[in-house]
Structure 1
Amino acid sequence: MKAEILINVTPTETRVTVVENGVLQEVFIEREHLRGLVGNVYKGKVVRVLPGMQAAFVDIGLERAGFIHASDIIGGDAQTPIMSLLHEGQKLVVQVTKDPISSKGARLTNQLAIPSRYLVYMPDTDHVGVSQRIDGTEERDRLRALVAASIKNEALTGKGGFILRTAAEGAGEEEINADTRYLKRLWVTLGERLKGAKVPSLVYDELPLFLRTMRDYSRPEITRVLIDSKETYQRIEKFVEQFVPEILPQLEYYPGPRPILDLYGVEDEMQRALERKVPLKSGGYLVIDQTEAMTTIDVNTGAFVGRRNLEETIFKTNLEAATAIGRQLRLRNLGGIIILDFIDMMDVEHQRQVHRMLEKVLEKDHAKTKISGVSDLGLVEMTRKRTRESLGQMLTEACACCDGRGTVKTAETICYDIFREILREERAYDASCYLVLASTAVIDRLLDEDSSSLADLEAFMGKTIKLQVESNYTQDQYDIVLP
């Protein structure tokens, strides 16, 4: 598999896309006025403790206080009373694990973790862990031994543990030593900042998006990294020379006349990623509905009729859908609880193969996922770790016409609402006549299909009802005006 990273930089926004075999797979967006906070370390103050929720709110200097659970506090777990761990007014060093989403503040932890290319330094533990994605006992043991030797040989004193990241697989002694030295030096610097820091204040700012991408997404299959900003290219080049020198040959400055994200149709793909319906090559389609609590993905056969029988048609559609779902989860950055409604399959072996295909495509996902088996109703429940807003949440807002419902009342329904409202006004004010202001579709219906009903209402009240089109009104918007 060949993969390319395209980096588009403007004064107000940075967009990073990952393209695999010519197909857009992931999109990351960071706006200058609203940079992501995940990884930032703050010195804050506890402003409210909630015993009933085993949690507390911490003021870290943002618009909304951050939220921390007892299990995310050093020495605490889900059963430890939060009152024994924190009290109001207490100063607390915390790190952001989830960006503020919608009306919720940032999710925080007191168990700090500072990442580098191959390692994550955890100053409050002595544990050396290895990413679960690194297979093989021999390789895991080798990496643990390298970290232990590095700590000893570099004379790194003081408490602190490490986790070996997935990128560490195959790394040598020199790379591990460089990372441990870098992280320890960084932590000493942070310790000095913490001593004199005010409350609340930011003490460690995570790298900007384009540098985080080089640190976290550089892997052997990356064949090219295109950057359309000369200044950003030079910053990335210096960073890569120091921390990821093996990908230096893949860096390219892109000065081309064509916008960089027009390559491979990336802009069009990003637009399609905001749509509810996702067509499949077979003629079937997915319907994706995102709510605050969960996301549902419904699989439909659509125009696909297959060549053999119904069961085979359903199986092939579900198999293709499983692959498409894996891509859509990454592309749209959907997180939290996700319900997948596959078409019902009678064959148990077909269910197993679809489930296995879903697991296989999710192996490429950098976010942590967990999948249940296929239920009797053909549903698959899964979770995907959410650390930032989804693509839809970042790029869109609730429709002013439908208030985010996705539907509006029909013109017929609005006409009946108008009739009822006129009767209410008649009882309350007994006006001499009434003027209805409404959209073109509603006025047209009142003059056509519902003209007899309008005449009956006028006769019943003995009053005149005048109609006026307001071109700026949405279909479900109207006013009744008294003289």
Structure 2
Amino acid sequence: MNEIFIEKDKPYLRIAIKDHEKLLACYIEEETEEAVPGQIYLGIVKNIVPAIKGAFIDIGKAKDAFMHLDNNRDLKKGDYFLVEVLREATELKSANVTSLITIPGTYVVVNPMEKALKISRKISNSKFINEVKEQLKDVSTYGITVRSSAENVDINIIREEVQALNIVVDKIIAKGKYSLKPQLIYDDGGALGRILRDYINDGTKRIIVDDIKNYDLVKENIEKLHSSAELIMHEESRGIFDCYSIEKEILALRHKKVVLKSGGYIIIEKTEALYSIDVNSGKSTGEVAISKTAFKTNLEAAEEIARQIILRNLSGIIVIDFINMKDKKEKTEVIKILEAAFKKDNNKTTIYPFTDVNLVQITRKKRGKDIGSFLEESCKHCGGEGARLKWDYLKLLIKNQLIKLKGQHITKEFVITIDSKYKSEVQKKLTEFITFIEGHDCLLYLLYLDNFNSYKVEPVIFDSQRKNLQEYKIY
């Protein structure tokens, strides 16, 4: 039974999914005026660059988006057409868009630029496949891809969704046709929209939200899907992620090292071209034979690696260096574990066989930023080479901890300890900082420590404490 936690606290929307008390997936979305994956825009071709087989498209944002050109597309400067955002812009790169727009639903995806009826490869039930081909062949004027989530659903429910999405597509095309300038045409709901489509099912036990707008949206989807999930409005001032002990699990995703139950561990590292994951036996030496230890550790690591890839939203090329195994049957078992673990993943993932040097390559479709992009930022004090917890994210953690302590203690005096790397941010906008953390009704002291890779919020109870902290008083 899964549980969904949806927390809205500016500038972040954070969503966590737990399955039997274990964190299954996590999504963070930051408020932005920039184009985000899933949105559809009316764009105009500004420039075509044959050398890189691409074109720059004005979609009404500060920076033109980039689109790869396929051999069948005959574009010229000044052309208007609809594009879907595949990847958001970064400091160095433009947003990536495609003319092959898609409108996803819970059970199907409508492809306006195609005519074919496709069925997810994850569906193996031949009876269902034949029924889909027969019942849906004339339902849509556009192409359809039937998702794996449709396999155990009544065909009439699937037909209804196809018809509803066809109406959405018609409206998108009409709006694009009569718009006079590049602009946003359709928003699929971002991270929350994806969660409502992908995770609300018969196994959803409860959904907890803290925002009335999101509450109404979730309620509408629960009713539409005939789900029995309990919907709870979280009304405490303390954040959902803090109340339900999710915060610690998310912060743990910053760590490169993940320890396995057997005593082994994996190391996850990011390079410019790919992610590398190294499996080590560590203290996992209980077995007599080294080969048995390697196999046992690799099996455990394979399951955890899949979980970490989904949790951290890693994408692109991922290379796993397993502990050396010579037995082909053992290698096959490890691949089977990976494949089974990724069946829960809604992203397109391809797993390649072991190479001669015991490497396994995985390619995973990019769908939004990795979690690290929301949690960390480059550190100016390290010459831009190091990373620190994002200041906006750290303020959110301090705020939740302060709210928690105010509810537990009579005192309204607190001392906050953070790394000295954040000193300039606090001093530049001190009043804004105090307002954000809801410290306006408190007496606050702020300590800066060098190389302090954490934070603390503690109550000031004794006079001796108070006397020593006077020079650090900020409010």
TM-score norm. by structure 2 comes to: 0.76
Contact persistence 1:237–1:248 (CA under 8 A): no
Name the amino acid aligned to 1:288: I
Output aligned runs, 1:205-244, within 5 Å. 205-241=187-223, 243-244=224-225
Contact persistence 1:299–1:342 (CA under 8 A): yes
Pair 1:316–1:406, CA change in 2 (3 A): farther
1:312 matched to which residue of 2? 292
Bigger shift: 16-25 or 56-65?
Answer: 56-65
Residue 250 of structure 1, CA deviation: 3.3
Name the amino acid aligned to 2:232: E
Name the amino acid aligned to 1:168: A
RMSD of aligned Cα (Å): 2.4
Deviation digits for residues 59-107 of structure 1 (CA, Å, limit 9, x no counterpart): 1122322221223xxxxx4xx5x6xx11222222211122224522222
1:428 matched to which residue of 2? none
For 2:119, which of 130, 133, 155 is the aligned residue?
A: 130
Output aligned runs, 1:52-91, within 5 Å. 52-71=51-70, 77=71, 80=72, 85-91=74-80
For 1:183, which of 165, 175, 179 is the aligned residue?
A: 165
2:89 matched to which residue of 1? 100
For 2:301, which of 305, 316, 321 is the aligned residue?
A: 321
Pair 1:10–1:325, CA change in 2 (3 A): same
In 2: Cα distance, 1:178 partner to 1:321 partner: 42
1:452 matched to which residue of 2? none
Residue 222 of structure 1, CA deviation: 2.1
Pair 1:35–1:275, CA change in 2 (3 A): farther
**Identity within the alignment, %:** 31
Residue 32 of structure 1, CA deviation: 2.2
Deviation digits for residues 222-255 of structure 1 (CA, Å, limit 9, x no counterpart): 22222233442123212432x32x2154333333
Name the amino acid aligned to 1:4: E
Contact persistence 1:5–1:226 (CA under 8 A): yes
Bigger shift: 299-308 or 329-338?
Answer: 299-308
For 1:398, which of 356, 378, 387 is the aligned residue?
A: 378
Contact persistence 1:114–1:122 (CA under 8 A): yes
Residue 330 of structure 1, CA deviation: 0.5
In 1: Cα distance, 2:52 partner to 2:289 partner: 53
In 2: Cα distance, 1:128 partner to 1:316 partner: 43
In 2: Cα distance, 1:361 partner to 1:326 partner: 6
Residue 36 of structure 1, CA deviation: 6.3
Pair 1:279–1:264, CA change in 2 (3 A): farther
Q: Secondary structure at the match of 2:382?
A: coil
In 1: Cα distance, 2:242 partner to 2:450 partner: 36
1:365 matched to which residue of 2? 345
Contact persistence 1:48–1:88 (CA under 8 A): yes
In 1: Cα distance, 2:63 partner to 2:50 partner: 20
Deviation digits for residues 361-411 of structure 1 (CA, Å, limit 9, x no counterpart): 12221111111211222111111111211000222112223345459xxxx
Contact persistence 1:280–1:321 (CA under 8 A): yes
Residue 473 of structure 1, CA deviation: 10
1:352 matched to which residue of 2? 332
In 2: Cα distance, 1:405 partner to 1:302 partner: 29
Contact persistence 2:56–2:64 (CA under 8 A): yes
Name the amino acid aligned to 2:235: P
Contact persistence 1:296–1:338 (CA under 8 A): yes
2:273 matched to which residue of 1? 293
Structure 1 residue runs of 4 or more that deviate by more than 6 Å after TM superposition: 471-474
In 2: Cα distance, 1:149 partner to 1:133 partner: 23
Q: Secondary structure at the match of 1:97?
A: strand
Residue 301 of structure 1, CA deviation: 1.4
For 2:156, which of 150, 166, 174 is the aligned residue?
A: 174
Contact persistence 1:336–1:385 (CA under 8 A): yes
Residue 139 of structure 1, CA deviation: 0.8
In 1: Cα distance, 2:183 partner to 2:244 partner: 42
Name the amino acid aligned to 2:335: H
Q: Secondary structure at the match of 2:267?
A: strand
In 2: Cα distance, 1:222 partner to 1:231 partner: 21
2:2 matched to which residue of 1? 3
Pair 1:34–1:305, CA change in 2 (3 A): farther
In 1: Cα distance, 2:35 partner to 2:58 partner: 17
- Aligned residues between the structures: 391
Contact persistence 2:281–2:294 (CA under 8 A): yes
Q: Secondary structure at the match of 2:245?
A: helix
1:160 matched to which residue of 2? 142
Q: Does 1:199 align with 2:188?
A: no
1:459 matched to which residue of 2? none
Pair 1:348–1:104, CA change in 2 (3 A): same
In 1: Cα distance, 2:327 partner to 2:215 partner: 53
1:461 matched to which residue of 2? none
Residue 52 of structure 1, CA deviation: 2.0
In 2: Cα distance, 1:302 partner to 1:356 partner: 24
In 1: Cα distance, 2:136 partner to 2:76 partner: 37
Name the amino acid aligned to 2:218: I
Bigger shift: 266-275 or 2-11?
Answer: 2-11
Deviation digits for residues 15-53 of structure 1 (CA, Å, limit 9, x no counterpart): 111111211121111222357622211111112212122
Pair 1:257–1:92, CA change in 2 (3 A): closer
In 1: Cα distance, 2:32 partner to 2:219 partner: 25
1:439 matched to which residue of 2? none
Deviation digits for residues 331-368 of structure 1 (CA, Å, limit 9, x no counterpart): 10000011101111133322222222122212221111
1:340 matched to which residue of 2? 320
For structure 1, which runs of at least 5 residues remain unmatched after alignment?
72-76, 152-158, 408-470, 475-483
Residue 313 of structure 1, CA deviation: 1.5
Residue 263 of structure 1, CA deviation: 5.3
Contact persistence 1:101–1:389 (CA under 8 A): no
